[in-house]
């Protein structure tokens, strides 16, 4: 069991370092993407070709999270009844379902 625990802790430490490296790389990519976006927008360029790769400028549709206020407003418009809309949203929000499962994680001893 000692070997198993040792291996597990070593692997967890490796994963931690890899996540940090991944985060750093993602930040660098985001900075470069911002530069490319600025360049392409300012120069009215839709596509850049480099070493058999294409960098394409496109509109990305991003789903926003639901906010209680927005739900109430939309339901009020549809139902023509603000009070009923608020009750419906409160019911939806209060019945939010969470899934739980057992897991193992590493915590440093104090």
Number of domains in the chain: 2
What's the confidence (pLDDT) of residue 103? 58
Residue 40 lies in a domain: yes
| 105 lies in some domain | no
The 8-class DSSP code of residue 66 comes to: P
Both 16 and 37 in a single domain? Answer: yes
- Helix H or strand E segment including 7: helix 2-42
Domain co-membership, 44 together with 78: no
The pLDDT score that the predictor gives to residue 110 is 66
48 lies in the same domain as 67: no
**Of 57, 37, 35, 36, the residue nearest 46 (C-alpha):** 57
1 and 54 belong to one structural domain: yes
The pLDDT value given to residue 4: 94
Residue 47 lies in a domain: yes
Report how far apart, in Å, the C-alpha atoms of 58 and of each of 31, 33, 45, 55 are: 18, 13, 11, 10
Q: Which two tokens stand for residue 33?
A: 């993407």
In a domain, 92, yes or no: yes
Q: Structural domain of residue 2, as residue ranges?
A: 1-58
What pTM value is reported for the model?
0.58
pLDDT of residue 95: 76
Each of the 110 residues of the chain gets a pLDDT tens digit; together they read: 999 999 999 999 999 999 999 999 999 998 998 898 888 889 998 888 888 888 888 777 776 677 888 888 888 888 888 888 888 888 887 877 777 666 555 566 66
User: So what's the pLDDT on residue 105?
Assistant: 57
Distance from C-alpha of 52 to C-alpha of 54, rounded to nearest angstrom = 7
């Amino acid at each position: 069991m000692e070997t198993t625990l040792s291996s597990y802790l070593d692997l967890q430490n490796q994963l931690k370092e890899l996540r940090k490296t991944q985060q750093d790389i993602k930040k660098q990519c985001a900075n470069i993407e911002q530069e490319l976006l600025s360049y392409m927008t300012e120069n009215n360029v839709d596509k850049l070709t480099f070493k058999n790769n294409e960098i394409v400028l496109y509109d990305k549709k991003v789903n926003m999270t639901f906010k209680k206020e927005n739900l109430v407003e939309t339901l009020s418009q549809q139902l023509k009844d603000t009070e009923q809309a608020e009750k419906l949203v409160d019911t939806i929000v209060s019945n939010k379902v969470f899934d739980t499962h057992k897991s193992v994680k590493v915590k440093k001893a104090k």
